[in-house]
Structure 1
Amino acid sequence: MDVEIKGNILAVVTTDEKKIMCGGVPVFLAEDKEEQEKVSLKLSKITSGTIHDLENGCYIIVSH
C-alpha cells in the first residue's frame, strides 16, 4: 500500500525564533540564512517537497 500526502505543508524552516508557534508541522530553527537554505534543501529532497520562501524569514516545504 502506497500512501502519499499531497497539498500539505510538511515543514517550516526559520532563522527567527519569534516566528515559531505550536502547530501541526515540524519547525526547524536555523542559526543563519546559509543553514536555513541547507536544511530546507535537504528536507525538500527527503520529503520530495518544494521549497517556498515566504519572504518573512520562513521557508516552508510543501507537497504538491
Structure 2
Amino acid sequence: MKLEKLILATITTDASRVQSGQNVFVCNTTEEGDAVAAELEAILDGIAHKLSNDVYIIVKH
C-alpha cells in the first residue's frame, strides 16, 4: 500500500489554529517555525507549504 497526498506534520506558533490528533509542532516564534518546517521537510521527505504567517504543513505528494 502506497500513501499519497498525506499531511505528515503541522508547524505553528498558535496551537489554537490547528486540530489536535495530528503531528503538531508548536514553536515560540515565526523564525523558529520556519526553521522547524525546513528541517522536517528534509527529514520526512515531504514538501513544506506555508498556509499563513504562523502555520505550515508538511505534505507527501
| TM-score bracket for this pair, using the shorter chain length | 0.7 to 0.9
Instruction: Give the number of the structure whose alpha-carbon radius of gyration is greater.
Output: 1
Structure 2 regions of 5+ residues with no counterpart? none
Partner of 1:50: 47
Whose strand fraction is larger, Structure 1's or Structure 2's?
2
TM-score normalised by L of structure 1: 0.82
TM-score (norm 2): 0.86
- Structure-2 separation of matches of 1:4 and 1:45: 20
Query: 2:58 matched to 1:61?
Result: yes
Q: How does 1:14-29 map to 2 (within 5 A)?
A: 14-23=12-21, 25-29=22-26
How many positions carry a matched residue from both structures? 61
* Cα root mean square deviation, aligned: 1.6
- Calculate percent identity across the aligned residue pairs: 38
In structure 1, stretches of 5+ residues that fail to align are none
